[in-house]
Amino acid sequence: MTVGWRTLDVGEKALVYSHEGHARIEEGPKRLFLWRESYKPLRRVAATQTEYLVINYKDGKKEHRKGPCVEFVNPVVHIFIHKYSMEALDANEALIVYTYTISDKAGDNAGHSCKRRLEYGPTLFMPKPNEWLHHFVWHGTDPENKTRFIPKYNKFTKLRIIPDQFYYNADEIRTSDDALVRVKLMMFYELQNVERMLDSTTDPIADFINCLCADVVAYASKKTYLEFIEQAGELNDLQNFPRLVERCQEIGYGVSKVVFRGYHAHDKLQKMHDHAIARRTELKLSYEKEEQEQALVDSKLNAEVSRMKQEQKMQLNALEHKEEMEREQLTHKLTMEKEKHTQALLKQQQEHTARLRAKKMVDSQKLSHLGALHHLAVNLNKVLLAQSCRPKEVVQVVTENDSANVHLHYS
């Protein structure tokens, strides 16, 4: 028991027990005088926006409270209060959540059920008191060797649902002539069906590794060492990995590509092979050198022939151009002469037409004048004779009637 004053600041709480065993909560700011009472400050637990509180009550209840929030640990009511961070999920991550429920029926008829669901990001996830997360335990990449996998090394709860890849070396692969090689591979895969994966496998990476080894062993066992070296590029084709493709479909994964990154043989075998490669390379270089020299000679000859053809073509083009220019000049000259002759004919025709029109007008006026004189009873013969020029000789025949016949001889 304590006697005296106690001070509670702002935001603090304390549990005060009386001498009779009764308890009460005091909240600050406050100054308390204790008389035969026990004083116990309460521990303050606060959660931010990305955290939540797990509160266990003494009556068996359990509560998850999302932040921001504050709670004081009351030993009368609470067993404990713990603070946890919410699961932060990116856009390419998901959580597998299990929910356990009990029906409201009492006694032996009470129903129990457990359901599974997926939570996709981006989000902040807080599990409920009757929920828990699926924990994955897969083969993981050795930090010191990216091509080596350690069983049960990769432990996680966030499942990545984007395309991924890994490196793997298949060791001790034996060919048909008993040569041992190490095959280096790289696999690209993508999770397509999460539910099928959860129902079909507990470690898909282990399945991938086993299937890769099985397919490579089946491929190499049908070929000799030299055949394997010459045809190893076929390992880039998914058709040579039937077990891998089939198993991936069964567990909800899709394989987009398997890349062959090379091979490594035993040191003694590799030395022999390297010597053979060096000899083949030397012969190949000699062949290529001779081929390049012959190609250079052919190139020079082809260049000379091409240059001669080009010169001939240039000369032919020059002659054709000269002929074309002469043809154009002659055509232009003929066109100009034709145009000039056409203009002269047109001018002559216009002058002749003008003369005929003028003569026609003069004759028309003269005819009109003579017609007018005829209407006036004028002797037109005398008028026309008077208008004509004086003749050298004039012969006048006068008759008494119109029926007389006259016959003249003039020389």
Q: Which domains are delineated in the chain? A: 1-42 (no CATH), 44-85 (no CATH), 136-265 (3.30.479.30)
Q: d(Cα 210, Cα 225) in Å, to the nearest integer?
A: 23
Model confidence pLDDT, tens digit, residues 147-174: 899 999 999 999 999 999 999 999 888 8
What residues have CB less than 8 Å from 408, skipping those under 6 apart?
A: 395
Check residue 184 and give its pLDDT: 94
Give me the half-sphere count of Cα atoms (radius 13 Å) on the Cβ side of residue 92: 7
Check residue 391 and give its pLDDT: 59
Check residue 278 and give its pLDDT: 74
What residues have CB less than 8 Å from 272, skipping those under 6 apart?
A: none
Question: 166 and 220 in contact (C-beta within 8 Å)?
Answer: no
**Ranges of the chain whose pLDDT falls below 70:** 1-3, 104-110, 266-277, 388-411
Of 14, 12, 54, whose CA–CA distance to 34 is shortest? 14
Check residue 273 and give its pLDDT: 63
Check residue 110 and give its pLDDT: 60
Check residue 399 and give its pLDDT: 61
Of 161, 164, 149, whose CA–CA distance to 257 is shortest? 164
Mean pLDDT taken over the chain: 87
Model confidence pLDDT, tens digit, residues 120-146: 989 999 999 999 999 999 999 999 999
Check residue 108 and give its pLDDT: 53
- Look up residue 263 and give its two tokens: 């091979």
CA dihedral of 344, 350, 352, 356, whole degrees rounded to 10: 180
Model confidence pLDDT, tens digit, residues 256-281: 999 999 988 766 666 666 666 677 78
DSSP 76: T
- Look at residue 61 and give its three-state secondary structure: coil
